[in-house]
Amino acid sequence: MVKYFLVRRRSMGRTKRTDLVGGHIQEFFMLIPFFIGFITFTVYPIFWALRWVLYDYSGLGKPFFVGLDNFARAFFRDKEFWRSVSNTFYLAFMKLIIEIPLALIIAFFVNNKVKGSSILRVIYFLPTVFSIAVVGLIFTILFSAYNGIVNSALTVTGVFKENYNFFGSRWSALNIILLVSTWATFGINMIYFLMGLQNIPNELYECATLDGASGPRQFFSITIPLLAPVMQMIIMLSVLGTMRINDVVIVMTNGQPGGTTEVAMTHILKMFFSFGAGGGRRQIGYGAALSVIMGVILAIMTVIYLKSSKRMKNIY
Protein backbone atom coordinates (compact mmCIF):
# COMPACT_ATOMS: atom_id res chain seq x y z
CA MET A 1 0.00 0.00 0.00
CA VAL A 2 2.82 2.43 0.95
CA LYS A 3 4.64 1.59 -2.30
CA TYR A 4 1.46 2.31 -4.26
CA PHE A 5 1.07 5.78 -2.70
CA LEU A 6 4.75 6.64 -3.33
CA VAL A 7 4.46 5.64 -6.99
CA ARG A 8 1.17 7.52 -7.28
CA ARG A 9 2.70 10.67 -5.73
CA ARG A 10 5.71 10.62 -8.07
CA SER A 11 3.37 10.14 -11.03
CA MET A 12 1.23 13.10 -9.96
CA GLY A 13 4.35 15.24 -9.53
CA ARG A 14 5.52 14.43 -13.06
CA THR A 15 2.03 15.17 -14.37
CA LYS A 16 1.98 18.60 -12.67
CA ARG A 17 5.42 19.49 -14.06
CA THR A 18 4.32 18.35 -17.52
CA ASP A 19 1.14 20.42 -17.25
CA LEU A 20 3.14 23.44 -16.08
CA VAL A 21 5.52 23.27 -19.03
CA GLY A 22 2.81 22.36 -21.51
CA GLY A 23 0.52 25.10 -20.26
CA HIS A 24 3.16 27.79 -20.77
CA ILE A 25 4.81 26.48 -23.93
CA GLN A 26 2.70 28.83 -26.06
CA GLU A 27 3.87 31.83 -24.01
CA PHE A 28 7.50 30.74 -24.40
CA PHE A 29 7.16 30.56 -28.17
CA MET A 30 5.45 33.96 -28.26
CA LEU A 31 8.36 35.51 -26.34
CA ILE A 32 11.06 34.01 -28.58
CA PRO A 33 10.72 36.66 -31.38
CA PHE A 34 10.96 39.43 -28.78
CA PHE A 35 14.12 37.99 -27.24
CA ILE A 36 15.68 37.47 -30.68
CA GLY A 37 14.96 41.09 -31.60
CA PHE A 38 16.14 42.35 -28.20
CA ILE A 39 19.44 40.48 -28.42
CA THR A 40 19.99 41.35 -32.09
CA PHE A 41 19.06 45.05 -32.03
CA THR A 42 19.82 46.05 -28.42
CA VAL A 43 22.28 43.79 -26.61
CA TYR A 44 24.61 43.03 -29.52
CA PRO A 45 24.93 46.70 -30.70
CA ILE A 46 25.79 47.77 -27.14
CA PHE A 47 28.65 45.30 -26.83
CA TRP A 48 29.72 45.99 -30.42
CA ALA A 49 29.98 49.72 -29.67
CA LEU A 50 31.83 49.13 -26.39
CA ARG A 51 34.40 47.19 -28.33
CA TRP A 52 35.56 50.28 -30.24
CA VAL A 53 35.49 53.07 -27.64
CA LEU A 54 39.27 52.96 -27.24
CA TYR A 55 40.06 52.80 -30.96
CA ASP A 56 40.21 55.09 -33.96
CA TYR A 57 38.25 53.01 -36.44
CA SER A 58 36.48 53.91 -39.65
CA GLY A 59 34.96 50.51 -40.40
CA LEU A 60 37.61 49.79 -43.01
CA GLY A 61 41.22 48.87 -42.55
CA LYS A 62 43.05 48.36 -39.29
CA PRO A 63 41.80 50.04 -36.09
CA PHE A 64 44.31 52.11 -34.12
CA PHE A 65 44.37 52.02 -30.34
CA VAL A 66 44.05 55.56 -28.95
CA GLY A 67 43.19 54.82 -25.33
CA LEU A 68 41.05 57.51 -23.71
CA ASP A 69 41.65 60.06 -26.47
CA ASN A 70 38.09 59.63 -27.78
CA PHE A 71 36.73 60.64 -24.39
CA ALA A 72 39.23 63.50 -24.07
CA ARG A 73 38.11 64.77 -27.47
CA ALA A 74 34.47 64.60 -26.43
CA PHE A 75 34.95 66.43 -23.13
CA PHE A 76 37.51 69.05 -24.11
CA ARG A 77 37.54 69.56 -27.88
CA ASP A 78 34.11 68.78 -29.32
CA LYS A 79 32.03 71.90 -28.64
CA GLU A 80 29.45 70.80 -31.22
CA PHE A 81 28.65 67.69 -29.19
CA TRP A 82 27.91 69.64 -26.01
CA ARG A 83 25.86 72.15 -27.97
CA SER A 84 23.81 69.23 -29.28
CA VAL A 85 23.44 67.95 -25.71
CA SER A 86 22.20 71.38 -24.59
CA ASN A 87 19.67 71.37 -27.46
CA THR A 88 18.50 67.95 -26.30
CA PHE A 89 18.01 69.13 -22.72
CA TYR A 90 16.17 72.22 -23.96
CA LEU A 91 13.74 70.10 -25.99
CA ALA A 92 13.26 67.64 -23.12
CA PHE A 93 12.57 70.37 -20.55
CA MET A 94 10.27 72.46 -22.75
CA LYS A 95 8.40 69.42 -24.01
CA LEU A 96 7.88 68.27 -20.44
CA ILE A 97 6.31 71.50 -19.20
CA ILE A 98 4.10 71.78 -22.31
CA GLU A 99 3.13 68.20 -23.14
CA ILE A 100 2.38 66.78 -19.69
CA PRO A 101 -0.14 69.49 -18.60
CA LEU A 102 -1.69 69.47 -22.09
CA ALA A 103 -2.15 65.69 -22.08
CA LEU A 104 -3.55 65.76 -18.54
CA ILE A 105 -6.08 68.52 -19.29
CA ILE A 106 -7.32 66.83 -22.46
CA ALA A 107 -7.54 63.45 -20.70
CA PHE A 108 -9.54 65.08 -17.89
CA PHE A 109 -12.13 66.54 -20.26
CA VAL A 110 -12.35 63.37 -22.36
CA ASN A 111 -12.82 61.31 -19.19
CA ASN A 112 -15.80 63.48 -18.18
CA LYS A 113 -17.69 61.92 -21.10
CA VAL A 114 -18.59 65.14 -22.81
CA LYS A 115 -20.49 64.91 -26.07
CA GLY A 116 -18.26 63.48 -28.79
CA SER A 117 -15.55 62.37 -26.33
CA SER A 118 -14.99 59.08 -28.19
CA ILE A 119 -14.32 60.92 -31.44
CA LEU A 120 -12.06 63.41 -29.66
CA ARG A 121 -10.11 60.52 -28.13
CA VAL A 122 -9.41 59.10 -31.57
CA ILE A 123 -8.52 62.51 -33.03
CA TYR A 124 -6.06 63.33 -30.25
CA PHE A 125 -4.43 59.90 -30.43
CA LEU A 126 -4.23 59.87 -34.24
CA PRO A 127 -0.91 61.81 -34.55
CA THR A 128 0.80 59.07 -32.56
CA VAL A 129 0.26 56.48 -35.30
CA PHE A 130 1.58 58.68 -38.11
CA SER A 131 5.11 58.17 -39.37
CA ILE A 132 7.37 60.84 -37.88
CA ALA A 133 9.07 61.24 -41.27
CA VAL A 134 5.73 62.13 -42.86
CA VAL A 135 4.82 64.44 -39.97
CA GLY A 136 8.18 66.21 -40.19
CA LEU A 137 7.85 66.65 -43.94
CA ILE A 138 4.33 68.07 -43.63
CA PHE A 139 5.35 70.62 -40.99
CA THR A 140 8.46 71.55 -42.99
CA ILE A 141 6.18 72.46 -45.90
CA LEU A 142 3.76 74.31 -43.60
CA PHE A 143 6.55 76.49 -42.16
CA SER A 144 8.44 76.92 -45.42
CA ALA A 145 9.93 80.40 -45.85
CA TYR A 146 8.67 80.93 -49.40
CA ASN A 147 5.45 79.02 -50.03
CA GLY A 148 4.46 77.82 -46.55
CA ILE A 149 0.86 78.14 -45.41
CA VAL A 150 1.91 79.61 -42.04
CA ASN A 151 3.95 82.38 -43.66
CA SER A 152 1.14 83.13 -46.10
CA ALA A 153 -1.41 83.41 -43.28
CA LEU A 154 0.85 85.65 -41.19
CA THR A 155 1.64 88.01 -44.05
CA VAL A 156 -1.99 88.23 -45.23
CA THR A 157 -3.21 89.08 -41.71
CA GLY A 158 -0.45 91.67 -41.31
CA VAL A 159 1.40 89.96 -38.46
CA PHE A 160 4.56 89.82 -40.63
CA LYS A 161 5.36 92.34 -43.34
CA GLU A 162 7.37 89.73 -45.23
CA ASN A 163 7.97 86.01 -45.08
CA TYR A 164 9.93 84.77 -42.08
CA ASN A 165 12.47 81.95 -42.31
CA PHE A 166 11.48 79.76 -39.34
CA PHE A 167 14.41 77.44 -40.01
CA GLY A 168 16.93 80.26 -40.45
CA SER A 169 17.91 80.59 -36.79
CA ARG A 170 18.69 78.13 -34.03
CA TRP A 171 15.92 78.94 -31.57
CA SER A 172 13.07 79.34 -34.03
CA ALA A 173 14.01 76.03 -35.69
CA LEU A 174 14.27 74.28 -32.30
CA ASN A 175 10.85 75.61 -31.31
CA ILE A 176 9.31 74.27 -34.53
CA ILE A 177 10.89 70.89 -33.78
CA LEU A 178 9.47 71.15 -30.25
CA LEU A 179 6.01 71.87 -31.64
CA VAL A 180 6.11 68.92 -34.03
CA SER A 181 7.48 66.50 -31.44
CA THR A 182 4.82 67.53 -28.91
CA TRP A 183 2.02 67.23 -31.46
CA ALA A 184 3.19 63.78 -32.50
CA THR A 185 3.50 62.24 -29.02
CA PHE A 186 1.10 63.92 -26.57
CA GLY A 187 -1.70 61.56 -27.66
CA ILE A 188 -0.09 58.50 -26.07
CA ASN A 189 0.41 60.39 -22.79
CA MET A 190 -3.24 61.43 -22.92
CA ILE A 191 -4.18 57.74 -23.11
CA TYR A 192 -1.95 56.96 -20.10
CA PHE A 193 -3.57 59.73 -18.09
CA LEU A 194 -7.02 58.60 -19.22
CA MET A 195 -6.37 55.08 -17.94
CA GLY A 196 -5.19 56.51 -14.62
CA LEU A 197 -8.29 58.71 -14.32
CA GLN A 198 -10.59 55.77 -15.00
CA ASN A 199 -9.00 53.84 -12.13
CA ILE A 200 -9.87 56.52 -9.55
CA PRO A 201 -13.03 55.46 -7.62
CA ASN A 202 -16.03 57.76 -8.18
CA GLU A 203 -16.92 57.39 -4.51
CA LEU A 204 -14.06 59.71 -3.58
CA TYR A 205 -15.50 62.50 -5.72
CA GLU A 206 -18.99 61.86 -4.35
CA CYS A 207 -17.75 62.12 -0.77
CA ALA A 208 -15.81 65.29 -1.60
CA THR A 209 -18.91 66.80 -3.19
CA LEU A 210 -20.96 66.04 -0.07
CA ASP A 211 -18.26 67.74 2.02
CA GLY A 212 -18.60 70.83 -0.16
CA ALA A 213 -15.33 70.52 -2.10
CA SER A 214 -15.33 72.51 -5.35
CA GLY A 215 -14.25 71.13 -8.71
CA PRO A 216 -10.74 72.66 -8.61
CA ARG A 217 -10.30 71.47 -5.01
CA GLN A 218 -11.24 67.92 -6.03
CA PHE A 219 -8.85 68.09 -8.99
CA PHE A 220 -5.84 69.16 -6.91
CA SER A 221 -6.66 67.16 -3.76
CA ILE A 222 -7.93 63.91 -5.29
CA THR A 223 -7.10 63.65 -8.99
CA ILE A 224 -3.50 64.86 -8.98
CA PRO A 225 -2.36 62.84 -5.91
CA LEU A 226 -3.97 59.63 -7.15
CA LEU A 227 -2.45 60.11 -10.60
CA ALA A 228 1.05 60.40 -9.10
CA PRO A 229 2.18 56.82 -9.93
CA VAL A 230 1.01 57.19 -13.54
CA MET A 231 2.56 60.64 -13.75
CA GLN A 232 5.88 59.27 -12.51
CA MET A 233 6.01 56.80 -15.38
CA ILE A 234 4.83 59.34 -17.98
CA ILE A 235 7.43 61.94 -16.99
CA MET A 236 10.25 59.40 -17.11
CA LEU A 237 9.18 58.03 -20.51
CA SER A 238 8.71 61.53 -21.90
CA VAL A 239 12.14 62.77 -20.81
CA LEU A 240 14.01 59.65 -21.90
CA GLY A 241 12.14 59.58 -25.22
CA THR A 242 13.02 63.20 -25.93
CA MET A 243 16.65 62.65 -24.94
CA ARG A 244 16.81 60.00 -27.68
CA ILE A 245 15.08 62.12 -30.33
CA ASN A 246 16.71 62.15 -33.76
CA ASP A 247 14.31 61.29 -36.59
CA VAL A 248 12.26 64.49 -36.59
CA VAL A 249 15.44 66.60 -36.45
CA ILE A 250 16.96 64.82 -39.44
CA VAL A 251 13.76 65.18 -41.46
CA MET A 252 13.09 68.84 -40.66
CA THR A 253 16.49 70.55 -40.34
CA ASN A 254 19.25 67.91 -40.48
CA GLY A 255 21.06 70.07 -37.92
CA GLN A 256 20.86 73.29 -39.92
CA PRO A 257 21.51 76.17 -39.86
CA GLY A 258 25.20 75.48 -39.43
CA GLY A 259 24.72 72.48 -37.17
CA THR A 260 23.08 74.59 -34.46
CA THR A 261 19.95 72.41 -34.23
CA GLU A 262 21.79 69.12 -33.86
CA VAL A 263 20.69 66.98 -30.94
CA ALA A 264 22.88 64.43 -29.21
CA MET A 265 21.62 61.42 -31.13
CA THR A 266 21.90 63.03 -34.57
CA HIS A 267 25.46 64.12 -33.76
CA ILE A 268 26.36 60.56 -32.77
CA LEU A 269 24.55 59.11 -35.79
CA LYS A 270 26.55 61.29 -38.16
CA MET A 271 29.80 60.10 -36.61
CA PHE A 272 28.85 56.50 -37.27
CA PHE A 273 27.61 57.06 -40.83
CA SER A 274 29.92 59.88 -42.00
CA PHE A 275 27.52 62.62 -43.06
CA GLY A 276 26.90 66.12 -41.75
CA ALA A 277 29.05 66.77 -38.69
CA GLY A 278 30.79 63.44 -39.21
CA GLY A 279 32.54 64.71 -42.33
CA GLY A 280 33.71 62.40 -45.05
CA ARG A 281 35.16 59.67 -42.82
CA ARG A 282 33.29 57.30 -40.56
CA GLN A 283 34.36 57.69 -36.94
CA ILE A 284 33.03 54.54 -35.34
CA GLY A 285 35.36 54.65 -32.35
CA TYR A 286 34.52 58.23 -31.50
CA GLY A 287 30.81 57.67 -32.11
CA ALA A 288 30.93 54.69 -29.75
CA ALA A 289 32.58 56.86 -27.08
CA LEU A 290 29.85 59.49 -27.47
CA SER A 291 27.22 56.75 -27.16
CA VAL A 292 28.75 55.61 -23.87
CA ILE A 293 28.75 59.18 -22.55
CA MET A 294 25.09 59.66 -23.46
CA GLY A 295 24.22 56.27 -21.99
CA VAL A 296 25.84 57.28 -18.70
CA ILE A 297 24.01 60.63 -18.73
CA LEU A 298 20.65 58.90 -19.30
CA ALA A 299 21.38 56.32 -16.58
CA ILE A 300 22.28 59.04 -14.07
CA MET A 301 19.15 61.02 -14.94
CA THR A 302 16.99 57.92 -14.53
CA VAL A 303 18.46 56.97 -11.15
CA ILE A 304 18.17 60.53 -9.81
CA TYR A 305 14.59 60.83 -11.01
CA LEU A 306 13.50 57.47 -9.61
CA LYS A 307 15.11 58.26 -6.27
CA SER A 308 13.58 61.73 -6.07
CA SER A 309 10.11 60.57 -7.16
CA LYS A 310 10.03 57.37 -5.12
CA ARG A 311 7.14 58.57 -2.98
CA MET A 312 4.92 59.14 -6.03
CA LYS A 313 4.39 55.43 -6.73
CA ASN A 314 3.35 54.71 -3.15
CA ILE A 315 0.46 57.18 -3.01
CA TYR A 316 -2.20 54.92 -4.50
SS (H, E, C) the chain: CHHHHHHHHHHHHHHHHHHHHHHHHHHHHHHHHHHHHHHHHHHHHHHHHHHCCCEECCCCCCCEECCCHHHHHHHHCCHHHHHHHHHHHHHHHHHHHHHHHHHHHHHHHHHCCCCCHHHHHHHHHHHHHCCHHHHHHHHHHHCCCCCCHHHHHHHHCCCCCCCCCCCCCHHHHHHHHHHHHHHHHHHHHHHHHHHHHHCCCHHHHHHHHHCCCCHHHHHHHHHHHHCHHHHHHHHHHHHHHHHCCCHHHHHHCCCCCCCCCCCHHHHHHHHHHCCHHHCCCCCHHHHHHHHHHHHHHHHHHHHHHHHHCHHHHHCC
Q: What is the pLDDT of residues 209-250, one digit of tens each?
A: 888 888 888 888 888 888 888 888 888 888 888 888 888 899
* Chain Cα centroid distance, residue 234: 10
Look at the chain and count its residues: 316
pLDDT exceeds cutoff 50 at 4: no
Quick one: CA dihedral 298, 301, 304, 305, positive or negative? Answer: negative
What is the arithmetic mean of pLDDT over 62-83?
A: 90
pLDDT exceeds cutoff 80 at 269: yes
Domain ranges of the chain: 2-51, 69-314
What is the arithmetic mean of pLDDT over 293-301?
A: 91
pLDDT exceeds cutoff 50 at 5: no
The better pLDDT of the pair 22, 34 is held by: 34
pLDDT exceeds cutoff 70 at 316: no
- Report yes or no: 265 and 248 within 8 Å, Cβ to Cβ: no
Give the Cα separation of 283 and 269 in Å (integer).
Answer: 10
pLDDT exceeds cutoff 70 at 21: no
Q: What is the pLDDT of residues 162-219, one digit of tens each?
A: 888 889 889 999 999 999 999 988 888 988 998 888 888 888 888 888 888 888 888 8
Q: Fold for domain 69-314?
A: MetI-like fold (1.10.3720)
Cis omega (within 30 of 0) on the bond before 257? yes
What's the mean per-residue pLDDT of the chain?
83
Give the Cα separation of 280 and 290 in Å (integer).
Answer: 18
pLDDT-derived band at 6, boundaries 50, 70, 90: very low
The better pLDDT of the pair 96, 5 is held by: 96
- Report yes or no: 110 and 194 within 8 Å, Cβ to Cβ: yes
Provide the pLDDT for residue 174.
93
pLDDT-derived band at 20, boundaries 50, 70, 90: very low
Provide the pLDDT for residue 92.
92
